[in-house]
Structure 1
Amino acid sequence: MTWYSYAQTDPDRAALIADDVRVSFGELNEQVNRIINSLDSLGVGRGDAVAIVLPNEWEYLPLELACLSTERYIVPVNRHLTAPEIAYILSNAEPKLVLTNADLLPVVREAAAEAGLPGTDRIYTTGDPSAPTAWASAWQNSPADPPKDRLAGSVMFYSSGTTGKPKGIRRALSGLTPEQEHEVGRQTWGLLNLTEGPGVHVVAAPLYHSAPNGMALGALGRGVTLAFPAMGRFDPAEFLSFIERVKMTESFMVPTMFQRLLRLPDDVRAAFDSSSLRAVVHAGAPCPVPTKHDMIAWWGPVLEEFYGSTESSVVTTVSSKQWLEAPGTVGQVRPGWRMEIRGADGKPVAQGEEGLIFSIGSAPFDYVKDPEKTAGTWEGEALLIGDIGKVDEEGRLFVLDRRTDLILSGGVNIYPAEIEFTLAEHPSVIDVVVIGVPDEEWGQKVVAIVQPVEGADRSALSEELVEFCQGRLAKYKQPSRIDLVDELPRMPTGKISRSKVRDSYLPA
């Protein structure tokens, strides 16, 4: 079954719900068909790109599904970017149409002008149907006839841009039908305990990021309803109330959300009914071991984790039960794929030794207009993910850190993630990032930047955290300095923006 199949067999089942909006699978199919015909009439051809610059709004999905059903590329753009940053992506992707909302319209128009996109008549907005730029007016009067040929398009994500400019990740159109591509993804859903509907998938993380986007599309493909919370920033109490109200069965979340949920008052947590939960998938950032332990103890063995990247897709998976047997692992490689840990010489290392992680089985792609970077990412059929890890005797992968985050002090490798996990265990720490700062004697020294909980005694906290690390970390791993900040800079996915942290601490 696929979302398209459910539109035929169970058209009244809810596909999208948000505030007072309810779109059934049958209505979704009609909207998708009208949008496809509208794109045809607007001259957005097969193989062309369409960009979306939006927060998590239900209108995201009909346009995305229209592109994915007719050999078009959909380009999700981070709505928090500045006009010049959006302009770079628009210039690189060259979309024929852009969808945004009224709040973001001035920034998007500025970006489109800077990118040299022809005119502004192809920039549409969600919301008010009477607005001159209303997206609904562009498609709602188009025919609802289905397209003659339904062939799969592709999502062209842009990397987060933590180092340098973001890169568009483009895969060749497969020539398969959307239903055939759905079957390709079915194995992954089974590994993550994602089942056929009915059910409710709460859209918690931004759809312009690959993992939440893929999970939302997969949920619709399994006949699961997508529910959109009416939240700007993630509010743990509000989120908990929402998922209980809609009886959430599944979601994709990031560890930062777990940490904030766990800081809710004990009575609020105890009152939460988790009986509807079937699978809460997380990925994209390391999850501290104590955090995951506490979430499993609270919500039950419903946490499902995968490891991979936008470029590689899912490489390993691990269930709660498997993780509890080896805390910290991101699991074993998925069937039909291979994984290698390679040393500096490019050769596979022995079991248990550290090295760079390569996946073998990922679909080919290219970085848009950057053949040099594309070539540097592949070694034959092996894809360099960019992380450092090791594999134990059971074939379980442990990710130690990003290669680019590695600190080299006195000739010794230091992994910031290990130090961050240790500091995150302190009850006065909301979050922390550890970086290497240049040092004449050691090459680099370890500096921790900590966001404390509200009301923490800052006069004593830095010293307290230094003592907290003693006995938990080897001396050479202990931060030489711990700075306190009101708030750590983040990307919209919840990840800390290391580039912004480094810009503040490293010399120009």
Structure 2
Amino acid sequence: MTWYSYAESDPDRLAIVGDEVRLTFGELSNQVNQIIHALDELGVGRGDAVAIVLPNEWEYLPLELACLSTERYVVPVNRHLTAPEIAYILGNSEPKLVLTNADLLPTVREAADEAGLPGSDRIYTTGDPQSESAWSKVWAAKPTDPPQRRLSGSVMFYSSGTTGKPKGIKRALSGLTPQAESELGRETWEMLNLTTEPGVHVVAAPMYHSAPNALTLSALGRGVTIAFPPASRFDAETFLEFAQRIGMTESFMVPTMFQRLLRLPDDTRKRFDSSTIRAVVHAGAPCPVSVKQAMIEWWGPVLEEFYGSTESSVVTTVNSKQWLDAPGTVGAARPGWQIQIRGADGEPAEPGVEGLIYSLGSTPFDYVKDPDKTAATWDGNALLIGDIGKLDEQGRLFVLDRRTDLILSGGVNIYPAEIEFVLVEHPSVVDVVVIGVPDEEWGQRVVAIVQPTDEAEWGELSEELMRFCQGRLAKYKQPSRIEITEELPRMATGKISRSRVREAYVGT
């Protein structure tokens, strides 16, 4: 089934619900068809890209569905990024139009100008239909008849690399119908115990990330109602109240959300009725064993975990019962796929031996305008995920650490090089190393260790550098602490020794 097949067979079924919207599948289908006509008239052709810079608003979905039904690319952009950061993504992906909202419009216009996109007349906003840039003005008068043919588009997510610059992950258009694509995806959602029974999927995590985006689209394709909470920023108590009121049956979450939920007062938690929940999928960061055990004790065996990356897609899955048999595992490889752990010699390692994680079975992709990076990621049909892990005798994967330099905070990847590039621009900085230090709530927090110039005044430098990062880095990338040191440790080659920096600062 697909979302539009439900529009044909059950048009009055509720598709999208929120504080300000109730949209049936029939109404959603009409709006998607109108947007397709609008894109055609705007000259957004097959293979062209459309960027979306929004919080979790319901208007995200009709435009995304229109593109995914007509061989167009969707580029979700993190709405927390600064104008220069957004400009890089817009310049790299070259979208034909951008959808944002009134609050973000000044930042997006600045980014579009910096990226050299053709004019602000291709930047539209959700919300007020009377505003000059209103998106609804573009499509609302268009016909509702469906396109002559439906062929699948693709979502082009941006995932930063160790160079610090985001990388667009682009897959070739399949030439398949959405119906055929849906059948290919059936195995994945069945492994995660997601069903076609009527229910409500609550959008808890940002749609600009691949997993929550994909799970939301999957839910619509299974005829499940999509519910948008009143606030796009996750608040534990507000989330519980909304989930209770709406009758949540499924969602995608990250471990940081679990930790916040578990910190709620006992009486607040006891008031929540979890009996409607069928599946809560989680990924995006390692989940502490104690946290997952506590969530299973509270909500029951409804937690479904997978391991993978934006590049690899879902590599392993593990349900609550399987996880309780081997706490800490992220599961075994999905049917037809293979996981390899490779040692320093590049050869497959024996069970129990740590090494780099490779997946065999992932769909080929290219990094946009970066063939060297693409080539370095693949070894034949084996994709380097790059995390450190090991397999047990039963083929279950245990992820031991993330990429060497990667910081993972609240389920979001933060890349040290990007922050280092900003700090080293300050005239008082000779060199800098950015690391992640353990944090109970966030997993890791960002700490920068700075070697200043001889002339620098140490007393106020940390605060000055914190201010320097504001406006140059998204808030979640800004260091929570900046340490000043006379000299950073170096190797014989002259390169900074990150391992010695970590030894000195992790845990402080």
Counterparts of 2:354 and 2:263, CA distance in 1: 34
Match of 1:110 in 2: 110
- Decide whether the 8 Å contact of 2:82 with 2:474 is kept in 1: no
Structure 1 residues 361-386: Cα deviation after superposition (integer angstroms, max 9, x where no partner): 00000000000100000000000001
Match of 2:16 in 1: 16
- Decide whether the 8 Å contact of 1:279 with 1:302 is kept in 2: yes
Counterparts of 1:21 and 1:401, CA distance in 2: 42
Residues 1:316 and 1:96: Cα distance change in structure 2 (over 3 Å): same
Match of 2:428 in 1: none
Aligned ranges for residues 284-299 of structure 1 at < 5 Å? 284-299=284-299
- Decide whether the 8 Å contact of 2:449 with 2:484 is kept in 1: no
Q: How far off its partner does 1:255 sit?
A: 0.4
Residues 1:91 and 1:271: Cα distance change in structure 2 (over 3 Å): same
Unaligned runs of 5+ in 2: 408-434, 451-465, 489-495, 497-508
Unaligned runs of 5+ in 1: 408-415, 425-429, 440-484
Match of 2:121, SS state, is: coil
Match of 2:389, SS state, is: strand
Per the normalisation by structure 2, the TM-score is 0.83
Aligned ranges for residues 460-479 of structure 1 at < 5 Å? none
Aligned ranges for residues 19-30 of structure 1 at < 5 Å? 19-30=19-30
Match of 1:16, SS state, is: strand
Residues 1:186 and 1:114: Cα distance change in structure 2 (over 3 Å): same
Match of 2:135 in 1: 135
Match of 1:475 in 2: none
Counterparts of 2:205 and 2:484, CA distance in 1: 29
Residues 1:431 and 1:124: Cα distance change in structure 2 (over 3 Å): closer
Counterparts of 1:26 and 1:107, CA distance in 2: 35
Counterparts of 1:62 and 1:135, CA distance in 2: 12
Counterparts of 2:448 and 2:124, CA distance in 1: 45
Q: How far off its partner does 1:320 sit?
A: 0.4
In structure 2, give the amino acid aligned to 1:294. A
Q: How far off its partner does 1:279 sit?
A: 0.1
Match of 2:168 in 1: 168
Structure 1 residues 397-425: Cα deviation after superposition (integer angstroms, max 9, x where no partner): 00001132489xxxxxxxx99x94xx73x
- Decide whether the 8 Å contact of 2:56 with 2:232 is kept in 1: no
Match of 2:374 in 1: 374
Number of aligned positions between the proteins = 441
- Decide whether the 8 Å contact of 1:282 with 1:305 is kept in 2: yes
Match of 1:383 in 2: 383
Residues 1:434 and 1:94: Cα distance change in structure 2 (over 3 Å): closer
In structure 2, give the amino acid aligned to 1:180. A
- Decide whether the 8 Å contact of 2:448 with 2:479 is kept in 1: no
Residues 1:504 and 1:70: Cα distance change in structure 2 (over 3 Å): farther
Counterparts of 2:230 and 2:12, CA distance in 1: 23
Structure 1 residues 447-487: Cα deviation after superposition (integer angstroms, max 9, x where no partner): xxxxxxxxxxxxxxxxxxxxxxxxxxxxxxxxxxxxxx9xx
Match of 2:431 in 1: none
Match of 2:219, SS state, is: helix
Aligned ranges for residues 218-257 of structure 1 at < 5 Å? 218-257=218-257
Residues 1:84 and 1:186: Cα distance change in structure 2 (over 3 Å): same
Structure 1 residues 142-171: Cα deviation after superposition (integer angstroms, max 9, x where no partner): 111211111000000001467511000000
Identity %: 72
Aligned ranges for residues 18-167 of structure 1 at < 5 Å? 18-160=18-160, 163-167=163-167
Residues 1:59 and 1:121: Cα distance change in structure 2 (over 3 Å): same
Q: How far off its partner does 1:500 sit?
A: 4.1
Per the normalisation by structure 1, the TM-score is 0.83
- Decide whether the 8 Å contact of 1:405 with 1:435 is kept in 2: no
- Decide whether the 8 Å contact of 1:196 with 1:224 is kept in 2: yes
Counterparts of 2:84 and 2:474, CA distance in 1: 20
Match of 1:403, SS state, is: coil
Residues 1:500 and 1:306: Cα distance change in structure 2 (over 3 Å): same
- Decide whether the 8 Å contact of 1:100 with 1:126 is kept in 2: yes
Match of 1:212 in 2: 212
Match of 2:305 in 1: 305
Residues 1:150 and 1:175: Cα distance change in structure 2 (over 3 Å): same
In structure 1, give the amino acid aligned to 2:325. E
Match of 2:444 in 1: 433
**Residue 349 (str. 1) matches residue 360 (str. 2):** no
Aligned ranges for residues 391-470 of structure 1 at < 5 Å? 391-405=391-405, 420=438, 424=440, 430-433=441-444
In structure 1, give the amino acid aligned to 2:363. A
In structure 2, give the amino acid aligned to 1:77. V
Counterparts of 2:99 and 2:232, CA distance in 1: 19
Match of 1:121, SS state, is: helix
- Decide whether the 8 Å contact of 1:204 with 1:252 is kept in 2: yes
